[in-house]
Amino acid sequence: MSGKVEVDFELCEANGVCMGIIPEVFDLDDEDYLHVLTHEVTPENESQIREAVRQCPRQAISIRE
């Protein structure tokens, strides 16, 4: 499949759960601001991105198909 990772920064509380699952996609900087390093969902990263979607306690991550 293909899709785009989206984060609702109004919801994100910068707790780093997503970065702990897949740091290649989600990165928290020193000021606790979350950066999405790549928005592309690929066969290689899809399952971990979906896990991050499931585990984000704020439900801030979505995949736009």
> What is the DSSP track for 3-54?
EEEEE-TTT-----HHHHH-TTTEEE-TTS-EEES--EE-TTTHHHHHHHHH
**Rounded to an integer, what distance in angstroms lies between the CA atom of residue 21 and that of residue 27?**
11
- State in angstroms the smallest separation of the CB of 39 from ligand SF4: 13
Site for ligand SF4 in 1-40 (CB under 6 A): 7, 12-18, 26, 34
Count residues near ligand SF4 (CB under 6 A).
14
Determine, following the binding rule CB under 6 A, whether residue 53 of this chain makes contact with ligand SF4: no
Give the residue carrying structure tokens 């979607």: 53
Determine, following the binding rule CB under 6 A, whether residue 63 of this chain makes contact with ligand SF4: no
**Would you tell me which residues interact with ligand SF4 (CB under 6 A)?**
7, 12-18, 26, 34, 56, 58, 60-61
